[in-house]
Structure formats: structure tokens, C-alpha cells
């Protein structure tokens, strides 16, 4: 059995990962004593026992944990970092298997994998195919709008919502410098910083990420059908990304899309809606911020790295 150590297992993501791994017969999750969770020597000893360590820590603590692992030399475990710390760091493989055709193999061969951010997962899934296909240049200006359940905001936000003291809905990140922007730019292939406006609602889980498009403003001026064919082809063999649409004009004309089905799933769904007459479109990704946006993605990467089905 493969031994897995979750450094920070008491947090929201750590608990979700542990819950998922409980049903995997070939995984033995090893845990540190509660009173030793901040003891560097004890954590290093756990890493030495593990085949793979998952870091569910704040950024600075994650960097410190990697330094501890480095001290083990050849006995260091493989690492999945669920923090923001290494998502744009050279030498780390980005843990989004559907990013590109060879990405799953890169993850499988990696010893250091950076788990994607939840918002970034949706945004990159919508933007990367467009840039990769040359339908827009990397310098194209994009706008990303998103809403997430409050469990993505950490312990204090969760406590506020569960106590009923938080607002029903709020925009945030209005300084336009959200921490997910660098990874969105790097892994979507953008050179122009997008305008990213996140928000949070009074529901625990689920996330919708939207990219509105004026197709005539894109360099190639693609039609809706061409966009559909691009996304259908890009995600035809995806493991946990499902593209919903068909070339029937009526399929573009949905009026509503609920966030509810995104809860408690490790998949991500993608749609393209639009107006063929005006050549306007909106790309939509729906996922669980704790599933494909965090714990579900970590377990998917773990299985690739440990050659588990």
C-alpha cells in the first residue's frame, strides 16, 4: 500500500482529501499526532515514511514544508502542494491533467505537482483552448466573472457564514489583483492581464466561472460553430471535464444555469451559450470549489503520480 501524509489535514481541503482517500483500498493515510502538527522534526519524520505528501497549508508554511522534504534527499516523498505557493514555480508540474494532451503523463512522472486554484481551474479550461488554437492572441483582453461557495474562503469566512453574520452575496478582489491571476495567465497562455472579478455567495459549495466574448473582437472572428467544434475536440478525451453543447443553434440559447449540480462532484462541466445573430458568446465552467477546485483535483493527481486507477 502507498503511504500518504496530509500535512494540514485538519483544514477544509485536508479533510475533504482524507474523506476521498478513505475509499481507496491501496492507500494508507498516515497521520501525525495532533500536538505535533507544528513540530518540524515530527513532520519531517512523517514525510520520510510517506510515498507522497499533500500540503494543505498557507503559502509560507507550504514553502517551509518543501524545505523540510528537501532535507530528506533521496528519501523525500512526492509532493502535491494545494496552496498557491508553487503554481507558477519552475520545476513544478501544474496539476491540471486536462490542460494539454501530454499533461496527465507529465503529472504521472512528476515528483512535485502544484494543485490548481479553484477559480483558475475554470478560467484556464475556458481560455487555454482559444489561445492554443490561435483564435485570439495571448495579448487579447479578457474578462472573467466568477462566484463561489463560501467554503473556499477559509476558516474565518466559513465561521461567519455559518453564524449568519456574512452577507448573502458580495464581490471581492476589487483591487483587481487576485492571487489566482498569475497562474491563470501562465497556464492559459496570456500575456495581457485579464480583468477578474470573483464573488462569494451564501451557499457552502459550488462555483461558476464565466468568460463573456464578443466574437468579432477576437483576431480570427470565429463563429459560434467554430468555437463549439474547438471545445468539443479539446475535451473529447478529458478525464473529469465534460463539454456540454452541440452544433444545433438552439443549444446556445439557454436562459438559466444553476450552480446546485456543481456541489459534491469532482468533475467540471463546460458550456458555451450565445447569440448567433450578434456573434456574442459566454463560456461557462461549473465545478465544486472543494472538488475539482481543490480536494478532488488533488486525489486525481495523486492517483496519476502513484499509478492508481
67 and 167 in a single domain? The answer is: no
188 and 199 in a single domain? The answer is: yes
Question: CATH number, domain at 26?
Answer: 3.40.50.720
The residue range of the domain holding 253 is 118-289
125 and 259 in a single domain? The answer is: yes
Model pLDDT, residue 278: 86
102 and 59 in a single domain? The answer is: yes
Spatial separation of the C-alpha atoms in residues 157 and 155, rounded to whole Å? 6
Q: Among 71, 95, 102, which residue's Cα sits nearest to residue 81?
A: 95
Q: How many domains does the chain have?
A: 2
240 and 143 in a single domain? The answer is: yes
Model pLDDT, residue 246: 55
Spatial separation of the C-alpha atoms in residues 240 and 283, rounded to whole Å? 18
52 and 189 in a single domain? The answer is: no
Ordered mean pLDDT values, 10 residues apiece, the chain (309 residues): 96 95 94 94 97 97 98 97 98 97 97 98 97 94 97 89 94 95 98 97 96 88 85 92 70 78 94 86 95 97 94
pTM for the predicted model, two decimal places: 0.94
Spatial separation of the C-alpha atoms in residues 115 and 249, rounded to whole Å? 37
Angle between helices 296-305 and 12-21 (to 10 degrees): 50
Q: Is the dihedral of CA 73, 114, 301, 103 positive or negative?
A: negative
* Set 56, 118, 210, 245: catalytic member: 118
Model pLDDT, residue 76: 97
236 and 125 in a single domain? The answer is: yes
186 and 123 in a single domain? The answer is: yes
112 and 128 in a single domain? The answer is: no
11 and 159 in a single domain? The answer is: no
Model pLDDT, residue 98: 97
Helix (H, G, I), strand (E, B) or coil at 65: helix
Model pLDDT, residue 255: 72
192 and 248 in a single domain? The answer is: yes
Spatial separation of the C-alpha atoms in residues 76 and 49, rounded to whole Å? 9
How far is CA 109 from each of CA 1, 27, 133, 151, rounded to the nearest angstrom? 19, 19, 26, 32
E strand spans, the chain: 2-7, 27-30, 52-55, 78-81, 93-94, 112-114, 143-149, 169-171, 195-197, 199-201, 207-214, 241-244, 268-275, 280-287
C-beta of residue 76 within 8 angstroms of C-beta of residue 7: no
Q: How far apart are the first and last CA of the chain?
A: 14
64 and 200 in a single domain? The answer is: no
Angle between helices 118-132 and 224-234 (to 10 degrees): 120
Could you confirm whether 210 is annotated as catalytic? no
Amino acid at each position: 500500500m502507498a503511504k500518504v501524509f496530509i500535512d494540514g489535514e485538519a483544514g477544509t481541503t485536508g479533510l475533504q482529501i482524507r474523506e476521498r482517500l478513505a475509499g481507496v483500498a491501496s492507500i494508507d493515510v498516515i497521520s501525525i499526532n495532533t500536538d505535533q502538527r507544528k513540530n518540524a522534526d515530527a513532520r519531517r519524520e512523517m514525510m520520510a515514511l510517506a510515498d507522497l505528501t499533500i500540503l494543505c497549508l498557507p503559502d509560507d508554511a507550504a514553502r517551509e514544508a518543501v524545505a523540510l522534504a528537501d532535507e530528506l534527499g533521496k528519501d523525500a516523498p512526492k509532493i502535491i502542494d494545494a496552496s498557491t505557493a508553487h503554481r507558477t514555480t519552475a520545476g513544478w508540474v501544474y496539476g491540471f491533467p486536462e490542460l494539454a494532451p501530454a499533461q496527465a503523463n507529465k503529472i504521472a512522472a512528476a515528483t512535485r505537482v502544484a494543485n490548481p486554484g479553484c477559480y483558475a481551474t475554470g478560467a484556464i479550461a475556458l481560455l487555454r483552448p482559444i489561445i492554443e488554437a490561435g483564435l485570439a492572441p495571448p495579448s487579447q483582453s479578457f474578462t472573467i466573472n466568477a462566484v463561489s461557495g463560501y467554503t473556499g474562503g477559509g476558516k474565518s469566512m466559513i465561521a461567519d457564514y455559518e453564524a449568519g453574520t456574512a452577507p448573502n452575496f458580495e464581490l471581492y478582489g476589487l483591487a483587481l489583483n487576485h492571487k489566482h491571476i498569475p497562474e491563470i495567465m501562465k497556464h492559459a497562455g496570456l500575456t495581457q492581464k485579464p480583468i477578474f472579478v470573483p464573488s462569494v455567495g451564501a451557499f457552502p459549495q459550488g462555483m461558476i466561472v464565466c468568460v463573456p466574448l464578443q466574437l468579432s473582437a477576437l483576431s480570427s472572428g470565429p463563429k459560434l460553430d467554430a468555437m463549439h467544434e474547438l471545445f468539443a475536440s479539446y475535451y473529447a478525451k478529458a478525464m473529469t471535464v465534460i463539454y456540454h453543447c452541440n452544433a444545433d443553434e438552439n443549444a446556445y440559447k439557454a436562459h438559466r444555469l444553476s450552480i446546485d449540480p456543481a456541489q459534491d462532484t469532482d468533475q467540471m462541466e463546460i458550456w458555451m451559450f450565445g447569440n448567433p445573430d450578434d456573434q456574442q458568446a459566454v463560456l461557462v465552467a461549473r465545478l465544486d470549489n472543494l472538488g475539482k477546485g481543490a480536494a478532488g483535483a488533488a486525489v486525481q493527481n495523486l492517483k496519476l503520480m502513484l499509478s492508481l486507477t
